[in-house]
Every structure is written in structure tokens, then in C-alpha cells.
Chain A
């Protein structure tokens, strides 16, 4: 989660929200959350699990959600 926050702090084009899955089960079900952390970019699920900074940035910047 911290990497997402750091990314949002470093770029005005990025926003980062942690969502507590058990409190918002409807949205978690919509996003097919089975494992955490699940990373979703612009409403499109991307991957599950923690990754190193370089991988996180690379995946975020190349995320597809159209």
C-alpha cells in the first residue's frame, strides 16, 4: 500500500486509495478480490500481491484498462 501512496505523493496525476475489503464486500466482489493486496487501476484489476518498487512502477505505468 505504501508504494501506491508514495506514487500518489510524487505525481499529481496519481491518486491512491486503500480499500478495506471486508468492510466493502460489494465492491470487493465486483473487483473479484480473493487475495490481497489486489491492485486495481482506473477500475480494472491488474495483479495480486506485493512487488518491489521497480516492478510496481513498471506495472502501474503500463496498466491497461480501456
Chain B
């Protein structure tokens, strides 16, 4: 089953083709936590690979590879969003489906930009950051 409607697929394809720099997605697979009731019949790892494979089929500017038991990761499956193949700290833990598929597409579009789309004042504030921050955003697919 296709993950995008045809009209959305064409729009995403155009935007991926226009990326300033290529983006690589790394799908990390490994032991998965027992999910909540109702999810037991979903193979989260295989489904993540399927979604990422379909996403990357839209444009040569977005590619992916699969890693097994990648060191440094605690939760699987995970998707690392790497501008020009470099891990700069963007990750999605879990299956990016439903509403969160849009977050993954948005992450690819932003990672593919040469210039940040944040406002200048935000960039100025970030330039003065003197500590490391790990931001975790808990989401649901609906």
C-alpha cells in the first residue's frame, strides 16, 4: 500500500529534488520493546524500512541505509536524519507513521537546506548557547 496520496507524492518529490544538499536516512534496527496492547501484530522494524524505502524512492537526493544493533542507540527501530550523510543529532525513535510521517518529511526538507529556516533572532540566541541540550519530544502517530 502506498504511503502517500498521488498528489502529495508529487509535491514531496518536487521538494526533495530541489534540496540544496543530499540527505541520508539511517534506519537502525535492533531489539524492540514490547509495545502496548493492539500493536503486537506490527513488525515495527520492517514497517519502518518499508516507509523509508518508499520515501527515498521519490528522489535521488534522499537515500537510506539499514544498520543493525547500531552502537549508542537505546531504542529500535530508529531513523537518523543525516544531512550529507553526517549524524548531526536528528533522530526519530519508533515507526514514523500517521501524523509523524509528516515530521520525518519535514526533517528531511530542513536537513536538505543550506540555510536554516529559523528566524535570525533564534539563530543569534542559539549561537550563544554554552551547554549541550538533548531535546526529546514525545509524540503519537495520531
> Which A residues lie at the B interface, using CB under 8 A?
1-2, 4-28, 31, 33, 36-43, 53-54, 57, 60-61, 63
Interface positions of B (Cβ within 8 A of A): 32-33, 35-36, 39, 44, 75, 81, 83, 88-96, 100, 103, 106-107, 110-111, 116-119, 121-123, 125-127, 129-141
Residue of A nearest to B127 (CB): A11
Task: Describe B's contact surface by its main secondary structure.
Answer: mixed
Given contacts A18-B94, A40-B135, A40-B137, 9 further A-B contacts (CB under 8 A): A15-B133, A17-B90, A19-B93, A23-B75, A23-B94, A25-B36, A27-B75, A41-B135, A53-B118
Does the CB pair B122–A15 fall under 8 Å?
A: no
24 CB < 8 A contacts A-B: A1-B103, A2-B107, A2-B110, A4-B135, A5-B103, A5-B107, A6-B117, A8-B90, A13-B131, A14-B126, A14-B132, A14-B135, A15-B133, A15-B134, A16-B90, A19-B138, A20-B139, A21-B139, A22-B141, A39-B136, A41-B134, A57-B122, A60-B133, A61-B126
Q: Do A8 and B88 form a contact, CB below 8 Å, given A14-B135, A22-B39?
A: yes
B140 touching A21, Cβ below 8 Å: yes
- Name the one of B92, B126, B131 contacting A18, with C-beta atoms under 8 angstroms: B92
Q: Inside 8 A of B125's CB, which chain A residues have their CB?
A: 57, 61
